[in-house]
């Protein structure tokens, strides 16, 4: 039924072409003969939908490696089989089949002339899906430990007073209602400041939604003491997002302590394991916060009572001491008053005696000074005559001295000029005293000279340069 390559020349013998349906029918026949049985395969669900009209379920199945799609095929689960397979899957796993889930399916290859190649699904193994989730869970645990972040959030400081709490959950979840109810029923719950960050808590968008809420909280760290992540329980399938590596690494690395109440009654999720404080349920988380608040309030009341007792005791002691000091003060003041009066009386008598004696002494001193002044006045009058004579004599001597002063100054100037001329360098050199220089400096001692030193001798009409041939020092040197 095949045919050769097209002829290059249209005038050559014509041939009979196959119709598309004939070719696809041939392919279908080959597939039925070669792959007519049933096969167990594993594949990831990239999309799933169910017809509201006939109840058929349609799958897009893929196989990926390192994020790259290696294979793709459509899968069909007809309504008759779906009514048996899907409930059993839900019963075993606790949840429906969702996007991103890896399934083990019993399939048969089918070729439809209109819709092409597809797989007809006859059964799905739910135990494989649970095992696959457990493998992924263990891989997350191993990777978190290998990355060194397994214990990071547990190392965050959890304050005794947790008042400002950021809660990540779904605003419509039953767990959020249980949490609020538990808080509102306790009087100390009014002291808590709760801020809700509404997020998806199951399904394919869970990780991205919670990550977005954590990012918003991280932008306002100073506004919160701790973070709470809660949801109202569910199956392993429902809670599988809390075993996701990306989500768990965000929890482990978060800079605030995280308290979880995800709702696992039997097993902890990996997010619970890396969180600072895991609790079983949202209600348990609320109780944990309330107990810590009650403890702080009790400590404050006890401290207030102790402080009141201390203040009361201190006031009583202070009052007793004040009474004692008041009595002592009155006694001491009385003694001081009596002693002061006695001292004042003695001082008054003493002052009166001293003033009387001082008055007599001052009177005698004034009289003595009066006599002395009279004597000085007599002497002054006597010396005035002698002083007038002395002034006349000194005036005559001064007049004579001023008259002869110019002549004497001229004679002195001439004498000084003669002495200066005798000591001028020219007259000194004429007498044979010549200056000798070394390096431009006058020589004052032979100790500054060495053999072969160059010396300069200054003369009236020139200078001589010579070298030292010998040096003779005085014997007393």
Domains and CATH numbers, the chain: 24-125 (2.40.50.140), 148-297 (3.40.50.2300)
Listed in order, strand segments (DSSP E) in 216-287 are 226-230, 258-261, 277-278
Q: Distance between CA 445 and CA 322 in Å, rounded?
A: 94
Average pLDDT for the chain? 82
Res 429: pLDDT: 72
Name the β-bridge partners of 58.
49, 76
**399: which residues sit within 8 A by CB, 6+ positions away?**
none
Q: Distance between CA 201 and CA 179 in Å, rounded?
A: 15
Residue 384: pLDDT over 70: no
The burial class, CB within 10 Å (0-12 / 13-18 / 19+), for 90 is: middle
Res 477: pLDDT: 47
Residue 3: pLDDT over 50: no
Q: Distance between CA 47 and CA 81 in Å, rounded?
A: 19
pLDDT in tens, 314-350: 777 777 777 777 777 677 766 766 676 676 666 667 7
Residue 8: pLDDT over 60: no
pLDDT in tens, 175-190: 899 999 999 999 999 9
Most confident of 31-45, 362-376, 448-462: 31-45
Q: Which residue, 301, 305, 289, is CA-closest to 161? A: 289
Instruction: Considering only residues 133 and 404, tell me which one the structure prediction assigns the higher pLDDT.
Output: 133
Q: Distance between CA 137 and CA 26 in Å, rounded?
A: 46
pLDDT in tens, 403-427: 666 666 666 666 766 766 666 677 7
- Helix residue ranges per DSSP H, 104-236: 126-146, 174-184, 206-218
Residue 255: pLDDT over 80: yes
Q: Distance between CA 277 and CA 261 in Å, rounded?
A: 9
Residue 474: pLDDT over 70: yes
pTM of the model: 0.52
Res 448: pLDDT: 80
Q: Distance between CA 167 and CA 375 in Å, rounded?
A: 116
Res 1: pLDDT: 45
Q: Which residue, 300, 222, 84, 254, is CA-closest to 152? A: 254
Most confident of 75-79, 444-448, 452-456, 472-476: 75-79
Are the CB atoms for 195 and 216 separated by under 8 Å?
A: no
Res 173: pLDDT: 87
Residue 460: pLDDT over 90: no
Which letter does DSSP use for residue 6 in this model? P
**Which tokens belong to 116?**
């092409």
**42: which residues sit within 8 A by CB, 6+ positions away?**
102, 103, 104, 105, 128
- Dihedral sign for Cα 297, 302, 307, 312, please: positive
Most confident of 92-106, 274-288, 411-425, 444-458: 274-288
């Amino acid at each position: 039924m095949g045919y050769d390559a097209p002829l290059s020349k249209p005038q050559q013998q014509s041939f009979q072409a196959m119709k598309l349906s004939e070719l696809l029918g041939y392919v279908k026949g080959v597939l039925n003969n070669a792959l007519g049985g049933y096969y167990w395969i594993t594949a990831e669900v990239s999309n799933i939908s169910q017809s509201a009209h006939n109840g058929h379920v349609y799958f897009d199945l893929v196989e990926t490696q390192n994020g790259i799609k290696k294979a793709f095929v459509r899968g069909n689960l007809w309504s008759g089989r779906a009514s048996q397979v899907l409930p059993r899957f839900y019963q075993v796993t606790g949840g429906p089949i969702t996007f991103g889930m890896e399934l083990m399916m019993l399939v048969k290859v089918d070729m439809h002339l209109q819709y092409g190649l597809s797989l007809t699904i006859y059964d799905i193994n739910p135990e494989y899906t649970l095992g696959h989730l457990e493998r992924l869970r263990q891989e997350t645990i191993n990777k978190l430990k290998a990355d060194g972040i397994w214990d990071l959030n547990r190392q965050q400081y959890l304050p005794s007073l947790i008042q400002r709490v950021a809660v990540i959950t779904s605003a419509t979840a039953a767990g959020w209602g249980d949490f609020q109810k538990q808080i509102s029923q306790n009087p100390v719950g009014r002291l808590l400041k709760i801020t809700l960050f509404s997020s998806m808590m199951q399904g394919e968008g869970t990780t991205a939604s919670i990550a977005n809420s954590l990012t918003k909280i991280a932008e306002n760290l100073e506004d919160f003491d701790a973070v709470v992540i809660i949801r109202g329980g569910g199956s392993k399938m429902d809670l599988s997002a809390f075993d996701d590596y990306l989500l768990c690494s965000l929890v482990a690395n978060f800079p605030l302590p995280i308290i979880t109440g995800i709702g696992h009654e039997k097993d902890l999720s990996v997010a619970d394991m890396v969180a600072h404080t895991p609790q079983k349920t949202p209600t348990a988380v609320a109780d944990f916060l309330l107990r810590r608040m009650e403890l702080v309030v009790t400590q404050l009341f006890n401290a207030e009572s102790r402080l009141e007792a201390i203040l009361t005791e201190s006031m009583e002691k202070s009052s007793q001491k004040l009474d004692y000091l008041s009595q002592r003060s009155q006694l001491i003041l009385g003694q001081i008053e009596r002693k002061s009066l006695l001292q004042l009386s003695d001082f008054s008598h003493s002052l009166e005696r001293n003033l009387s004696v001082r008055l007599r002494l001052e009177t005698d001193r004034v009289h003595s000074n009066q006599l002395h002044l009279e004597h000085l006045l007599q002497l002054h009058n006597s010396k005035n005559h002698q002083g007038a004579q002395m002034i006349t004599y000194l005036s005559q001597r001064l007049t004579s001295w001023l008259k002869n002063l110019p002549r004497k100054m001229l004679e002195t100037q001439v004498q000084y000029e003669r002495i200066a001329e005798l000591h001028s360098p020219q007259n000194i050199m004429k007498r044979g005293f010549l200056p000798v220089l070394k390096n431009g400096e006058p020589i004052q001692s032979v100790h500054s000279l060495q053999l072969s030193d160059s010396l300069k001798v200054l003369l009236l009409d020139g200078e001589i340069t010579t070298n030292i041939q010998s040096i003779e020092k005085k014997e007393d040197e």
